[in-house]
């Protein structure tokens, strides 16, 4: 790809991402933008302001004598970056009425214009990397925004587009056997990636088996009905404490009504679909389920090898199905506009070489690996990823 093609790609990815964020909030009422319904979620207004704020921080690194849009926004819109000064408390983002929703939109459009102008100029590699990170950061916030809209509105949210979920086909449900040996873990492509995906490094794996599809609601329901949430022996100590403290009895958004389980999501309050992938389970719940069923979570390397390794060709691909970028044919993505997990067997074309399904899209999948830097890790942007290298587990998918 030539340098000008690279720049055009970045500019179009930036425009597309900014448009998609606006699309997500297009049908909201003004009142919806301000409300914070839980300490772990953020009001939509905050997300719009924060993603623009991050681009402004990048602009101030790249543009000489950059003049900030408003110094008054800095504390409220800073999420957790000590290098950019004070931060407003995360659980109190819904308690402020300034900047107003209109002011945040004004800010959003102005920053879009400023970044667009910069991306049309000649930029060095470092600057391009920073703005690419800004685009990915905004994509991460689109995902957070969707989680938060679920908590805020559930089926009262009106997406601008809703597609029909395709009919699932029959799939092989037996666990897949994977040969062990030396495996090279990490991002193998030549495009942009996060610093935590590098460097590729060798790990040793024993032979192992992995389920051909992620755990379904129906499978998880068996764990619940067998008393999974009331028997300490399936749980890690911290997990059992969390079960008791939070009175967990089922995944988030499951509701027990009379004798049946319902879920409340973007589709509505509806009967649990046993063939949909189970969603909204913590690491502790995932781990306890595995113990109950007599299995275990995969390590990150086991997960990745099952997803990306082509045994026949002895090489790794970027996605389970090959190197082609994900589309609606391969996986359930935000841009699939389904607004729900799909049933197992819905993505025949997303099958990995090893024979695993739905490893991209639908849900993030828990692994048993600690979230730490790979050997030889080099930080790409301070305070973005590496300051979180403690007490967290790796999710893939």
Q: Where does this chain bind Fe ion (CB under 5 A)?
A: 79
If the CB atoms of residues 253 and 381 are measured against Fe ion, the closer one turns out to be 381
CA 289 to chain centre: 22
Q: What Å distances lie between residue 130 and 126, 193, 235, 331, 376, CA to CA?
A: 6, 12, 42, 28, 21
Shortest distance, CB of residue 137 to Fe ion, whole angstroms? 6
Shortest distance, CB of residue 377 to Fe ion, whole angstroms? 21
Shortest distance, CB of residue 138 to Fe ion, whole angstroms? 9
Shortest distance, CB of residue 335 to Fe ion, whole angstroms? 20
Pairwise CA distance, residues 145 & 334, whole Å: 11
Shortest distance, CB of residue 142 to Fe ion, whole angstroms? 11
Helix H or strand E segment including 297 = none
Shortest distance, CB of residue 144 to Fe ion, whole angstroms? 8
For 175-299, where are the alpha helices, taking DSSP H only?
A: 217-225, 237-246, 283-293
If the CB atoms of residues 35 and 144 are measured against Fe ion, the closer one turns out to be 144
Token pair of 167 as six digits: 């009919």
Pairwise CA distance, residues 366 & 390, whole Å: 16
If the CB atoms of residues 310 and 385 are measured against Fe ion, the closer one turns out to be 385
Token pair of 79 as six digits: 């999420």
Residue whose CB is nearest to Fe ion in the complex, by number: 79
Pairwise CA distance, residues 142 & 166, whole Å: 24
If the CB atoms of residues 87 and 129 are measured against Fe ion, the closer one turns out to be 87
If the CB atoms of residues 136 and 280 are measured against Fe ion, the closer one turns out to be 136
If the CB atoms of residues 79 and 142 are measured against Fe ion, the closer one turns out to be 79
Pairwise CA distance, residues 244 & 233, whole Å: 14
CA 341 to chain centre: 14
Shortest distance, CB of residue 395 to Fe ion, whole angstroms? 17
If the CB atoms of residues 79 and 385 are measured against Fe ion, the closer one turns out to be 79
CB 341 within 8 A of CB 358: no
CB 201 within 8 A of CB 184: yes
Residue whose C-alpha is closest to residue 48's, from 68, 73, 66, 71: 73
């Amino acid at each position: 790809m030539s340098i000008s093609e690279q720049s055009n790609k970045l500019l179009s990815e930036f425009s597309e991402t900014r448009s998609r964020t606006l699309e997500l909030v297009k049908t909201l009422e003004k009142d919806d933008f301000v409300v914070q319904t839980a300490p772990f979620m953020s009001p939509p207004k905050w997300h719009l302001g924060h993603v623009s704020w991050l681009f402004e921080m990048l602009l101030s690194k790249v543009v000489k004598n950059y003049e900030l849009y408003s110094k008054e926004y800095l504390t409220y819109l800073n999420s957790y970056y000590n290098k950019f000064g004070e931060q407003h408390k995360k659980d109190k983002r819904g308690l402020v009425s300034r900047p107003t929703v209109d002011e945040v939109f004004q800010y959003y459009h102005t920053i879009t214009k400023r970044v667009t102008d910069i991306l049309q100029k000649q930029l060095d590699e470092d600057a391009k990397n920073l703005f690419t990170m800004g685009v990915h950061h905004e994509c991460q916030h689109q995902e957070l925004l969707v989680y938060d809209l679920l908590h805020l509105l559930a089926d009262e949210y009106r997406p601008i587009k809703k597609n029909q979920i395709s009919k699932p086909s029959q799939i092989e449900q037996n666990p897949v056997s994977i040969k062990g040996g030396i495996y090279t873990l990490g991002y193998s492509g030549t495009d942009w990636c996060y610093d935590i995906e590098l460097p590729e490094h060798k790990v040793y794996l024993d032979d192992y088996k992995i389920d051909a599809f992620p755990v379904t609601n129906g499978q998880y329901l068996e764990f619940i009905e067998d008393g999974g949430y009331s028997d300490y022996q399936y749980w890690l100590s911290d997990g059992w404490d969390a079960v008791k403290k939070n009175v967990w009895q089922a995944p988030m958004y499951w509701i027990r009504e009379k004798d049946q389980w319902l879920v409340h999501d973007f589709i509505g309050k509806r009967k649990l679909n046993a063939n949909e992938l189970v969603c909204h389970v913590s690491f502790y719940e995932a781990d306890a389920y595995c113990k109950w069923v007599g299995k275990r979570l995969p390590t990150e390397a086991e997960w990745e090898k099952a997803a990306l390794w082509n045994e026949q060709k002895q090489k790794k691909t970027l996605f389970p199905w090959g190197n082609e970028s994900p589309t609606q044919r391969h996986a359930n993505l935000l841009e699939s506009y389904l607004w729900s997990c799909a049933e197992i067997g819905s993505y025949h074309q997303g099958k990995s070489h090893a024979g695993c399904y739905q490893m991209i899209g639908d849900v993030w999948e828990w692994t048993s690996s600690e979230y730490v830097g790979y050997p030889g890790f080099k930080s790409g942007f301070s305070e973005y990823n590496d300051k979180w290298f403690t007490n967290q587990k790796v999710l893939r998918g």
